Structure 1
Amino acid sequence: MARKLVLLVVWFLILLCYGMANFDVKLSKAIFDGGFLIFPVKRAKVQQLLDEINSQFDDEDVNLFLPSEPVLQDVIGCDEHVINVGFGTIEAVSFNGVLSNEQKARQSTFIGGLATNIPYLTSKNGDMEKITLQVNVFTSEGGHQIEPNVILPPPIVAGKYVKVIKGNTTDIRFKTGDLQLHVIGERAKSCQSYGKHGVADAQEYENEYQISRYGPDFSICDQYPDLQVDLCNVYRDPKNSSVLKEAGNNVCIYWVPTDDIQSCEATFHVVSMSDAMKELLLLDEDEEVLEAAFQTGTFDSRIVFPCIE
């Protein structure tokens, strides 16, 4: 169970979905430095959100479901599910756009980011859990963010994000409007490096997909015709453009870990959380962090569209 939860941070990175894809195109590498927090939530609240989101998908055949059997029954109740709060930075290994250096620094890096995801979902009622839904993304800057050479589908909300590391302790504070979260965590003394054997073992998670509730926004590609970032190049390719437009929000990007990935289990506790943040995270009470981990390393990324069929 611990290994499965540690790899949830991959889902924070991967914008994936489930099913046989018509197009699978390689993008650039990216470096991630961050982690995730797992909270228990009521299945009924997750189902209510899924009903709302399913009605927003462009394709009425694209639907997300809770698994028929509750997950992680050894650590949560049968009426519970989990939500994942991911945090950290994502930086493109290469960025070949026409933006100024200042714009590249701002737009090629996921600066001070925090995202909320619901893992262990299915695309067909009763199937095995293979999908994570990305619900919200917050960064220290709003607007378009190109990370790493791809455009984040969800609307990005600006927020103040502060991460302070002192020795083995990490202090994370986030605030935007009424949303406030303050957590403190400690990294485990021993960490797991995947190496070549570990990466091969982790490849089973390559097909554990994440999809955003929103479709990709290609307007920046039209705004900057000479912008040579990977996703814009895929979008401009005549054989892809019509399929991409037709796919709508049924477009995904998945990341494959390389052999420099390192994961460290961690212990986090909540110092404070606003009522608005509790509502966003579907929490009833002052729930403590169920599981947490840090992860650093390089990922290969690919775009897949359409995904759920």
Structure 2
Amino acid sequence: MYDWNALWHEREAYRTGFDIHHNDANELADALRAKLIHPAAHPEEVAVYENDDRYILAGHAGGLQLLEVLKHGLFDITLRFVTEDEGQNVPLPYVEIHVDNLATEEQAVWRGEARLDDEGRIWVGKRTLDENVLPAMPFDELSFTDNAEFREALSRVWHEDLPQLRPLIEAWFHHGGAAPTHEEPAHYGDADRVQQICDRYAEIVRREQALLSRLFSDDELRLIAGVIAGIHFDSAASCRGVWLAVEARIIDDELDQQFQIDSEALLGKLKNLSYAQEVALIEALSPLQS
């Protein structure tokens, strides 16, 4: 679920000492009144305990130490500029801010239409990028919506990350949202730049797969894996519209009865996937083709 050892080192300043008659990080459940969910396999690794609202990491660093991590603080925020119709009933193009918290099993999305006015100002929702004012993003469905750390992170996304998309947004409007008919082969830069792109791609896929693992049941994933086993995704564009292939196989081969799933519910979920989620789904299930 998380890289616990990385979390242990990243938050070193927040650790506290723990005095107990033994020195076994895996034997603290009673003392902490928490459930051991990840034992430490080696002395240099951390043991992880869980209760209702937090994780407690236990490890050795000059003695036994603890690190408490509140679940509501383990959120991820993803910013996207969306230019293709993903069935969200929002005029194109738009900015999407997706919040996900695996620990609390919550997620929410805010979308704001992007437009360019006659004065060349970029609007997202009811605010311009030049105003330096965060629009109303209630995220009422999140239990941690009023958490100061979460609100500060949202503010950073709006004030620091979103302005970096300005050239991309302006280019979309200046070119009428249309790509050139004939494009030269893309050149992504030197090896370091290509590695950076690959790392970012891998992180996007990882986050989306974490969401998908909760969205689909095991039987639904097996059905989808069986469908895409016979499909070759030769280009990036070919990854769009997985639901069409699934629907065709359900109609022709009655796969929904074979896997005992609700085909209407499955197709509904597939239709609502973003492009990034479809790619993540394909990446996750492609190894099952053999």
TM bucket (normalised to shorter chain) is 0.3 to 0.5
TM-score normalized by the length of structure 2: 0.32
Return the structure number with greater relative CO, CA threshold 8 A, min gap 6: 1
Q: Pick the structure with more strand per residue.
A: 1
Q: Which structure has the larger Rg over C-alpha atoms?
A: 2
TM-score (normalised: structure 1): 0.31
Q: Higher helix share goes to which structure? A: 2
